[in-house]
Structure 1
Amino acid sequence: MTKELSVEDAEKKARELLDRRIASVRTLVTARQRLAELREQVAEAERDHVRLYNAALSDGWSPDELRKLGLTEPEKKARTRRRAAAKKPAADTTGVDGQATAPAPEPEPSLN
C-alpha cells in the first residue's frame, strides 16, 4: 500500500528544493560581487602604482635605480585595437548584357 502524498507535503518538499537552489544562487552572486570589488581594488592599486612610480621618476630616480631597489616598472597594459570598419563591396559596373559600364559622372555644382 502506497501512502498518498498530500498537497501540503508536496509543497513543502518543493519549497525545500527551491530554497536550496536559491541559496546556491545567493552564494554565487555574493562571490561575484566580491570578485568585482576586488578587481576594482586591484585596478585602483595599479593606477596608484603608475602615479607613484612616475612621481619617483620626476623626483630624479632613474628606472635602473628603482629596479635595483626592487621597484619594478608598472606593467604596460596591452592596447586593444579597434577593428577597421568593413569595406563596402564595390558597386557592380556590369550592365544588363554583362558589358562593363562606366560609373556615372559626378554632377557639377551650380554657380547660382
Structure 2
Amino acid sequence: MSLDDLNDDVTAAYTDIGDELALSLDRETRNELALLETALEPEETDELVRRAIHMLFQSTVDTGKLDFQLRTAYDVTYDEYLSGMTFEEMTGADQYPSMDDERRYQF
C-alpha cells in the first residue's frame, strides 16, 4: 500500500463517520463515563468522548504506535502522511534509477 492508499482510506473513513456517531457502551465504559461526567461536569457528554479520542490519538502518536501501524499497513509514517509525500520523495531519492550491482563494475 502507499500514501495515496492511506489518503483514500482516511477520506472514506471520514465520510463514513459523518457528523454523528452511534455508539453502544458496555457496562464498564458506561460506568467510567458516568463518573467522568459527574467529576468533570462538561456541558455535554459528547465533549468527554471528543477529549478521549484526542488523548488516545496523542498517546498513539507519542508512543510510536501510529507510525508502526501505518508503516506496517501502508509503508508510510505519520509525518509522511502530514507532508503528503514519502521520505524518498522529500529527499529526491526516488529520482535516480536503481543501480544494477551485477553490471556496475563491468567495462
TM > 0.5 fold call: no
Q: When you count helix as a share of all residues, which structure comes out higher?
A: 2
**Greater radius of gyration (CA):** 1
Query: TM-score, normalised on structure 2?
Result: 0.24
Query: TM-score, normalised on structure 1?
Result: 0.24
